[in-house]
Amino acid sequence: MNIERYLRLIAGFFVMASTALGYWVHPGWFLFTAFVGLNLFQSAFTNRCPVITILQKLGVPSCESRMRTQA
């Protein structure tokens, strides 16, 4: 898997988990859902995302580097 797929996996997990916690535990968890959505929204315009920085430091390959090795 590449970094973009991991990002979608992590964001989807956070949204699903915080929605479930907001429904069954406390409605305040819906604020975390909004935070994840806001972060995805701003990253579309700024091309910066904290999760991608963390994944890069962990050595997860990006889509571009994977394409270079296959060519």
Render pLDDT for 6-44 as a digit per residue (tens, 0 to 9): 999 999 999 999 999 999 999 999 999 999 999 999 999
Q: Is the pLDDT of residue 58 over 90?
A: yes
pTM: predicted TM-score of the whole model, two decimal places: 0.82
Residue 66 has pLDDT above 80, yes or no: no
41-50: pLDDT as tens digits: 999 999 999 9
Question: If DSSP codes are grouped into helix, strand and coil, which group holds residue 59?
Answer: coil
Q: What is the pLDDT of residue 62?
A: 87
As for how many domains the chain has, the answer is 1
Domain that residue 50 falls in: 3-70
DSSP string, 19-51: HHHHHHT-GGGHHHHHHHHHHHHHHHHH---HH
